[in-house]
Chains A and B, each alone.
Chain A
Amino acid sequence: MPHDVLEKHPDAERLYGMDFTDELPDDTSVTAGSSVSAVDANGTAAASVVGTVSQAGMTLNAVLQAGTNGQDYLVTFTGRGNTSARDAVKQLEMRVRTKMTGSV
C-alpha cells in the first residue's frame, strides 16, 4: 500500500512533499543524495512525470507533472539522512485522469 494516493490531471503540475521525520529519527534533514523515481502500471520507468527535485529539512519535494490519461504511476521517494546516511523509502500512487473520479 503506498503512503499516499493522489489523482492528477495530465496538464497539472503539483509540488509534492514527502516527509521523512518518522522514518529517519536520527537526522535533521535529507541530503541531495535523495532521489525520486517513477514507474507506470506496466512497470516501465516514467522519468518524465518527475520534474524538479529538492530538499527542505526532512521533506523531499518533487514536482509531479504530465502523465498519460488512465495511467497509474508509482512514485518512489528515497530520502537519505544527513547524519545516519540511511535511506528511507516512501511511495506515492499518482493516478492521471482527464476526468477525475473524485473518489480518492
Chain B
Amino acid sequence: MVEDRLLIWRFKSGSRDALRRIYEKYKNDLLKLAVALTNDVHTAEDVVQDIFVSFAQSAARIRPIGNLRSYLMTCVANRIRNRQRDRQRHESPGIDDSDSVASDSAGPEQWAILSEELRLLSDALAQIPYEQREVVTLYMQGDMTFRQIAKLQNASVNTVQGRYRYGLNKLRSILNSEIKDETCR
C-alpha cells in the first residue's frame, strides 16, 4: 500500500520507472481478471493494454489515495462491462456467446499464457450469468468487498451477495462435473 502510494507520486512526477514497476506489478493480476470475465484471451489482452495506456496518460489526474490494485481492477471490470454493452447494442455476439478461452496455444503474438486451471475456471465462469460471474470473480480474485462490487454494479449489497451465492453454487457444480468428466476419460 505504502509502496503503491510512493509509486503513484513518482509516476505523477513523470517517472517512467514508476510506471514500469506498476505495469510489472499488476499486469498478471489484471490479465487474469480480464480472462476470467471475458473468457477470451484476445479481448482480455486488448482491455488490459487499453487500461495501462489510459493509466499512462492520466498522471495529472490520478490522486494518490485509495488502493491502486482495486482501482485498476475496477477499471478492467468497467471497461469489459462497457464493451459488452456496446456489443449487445450492435447485436453482435457478446462475451457470453464466446465459445471458449480463445486459442489453445500461445502463438508468437499472444501476450497472456494461461495455466490449465485458469482455462478450466474461465470456461466454467462463462457458463454462469455475467453479473454473477463479475461478483464471484471480483470477490474471489479482486479481493473487493461486496460493498465495492455493489457500487460498481449499481446494485444493493444484498443483491450482490445473492449473486455471489448463486454464482458460487453454479460454479461449484460446473467444476465438479468437469472434473468428473475428465476423470472418466
User: A and B, one complex?
Assistant: no
Give residues in B with beta carbon < 8 Å to A. none
Q: Using CB atoms and an 8 Å cutoff, list the residues of chain A in contact with chain B.
A: none
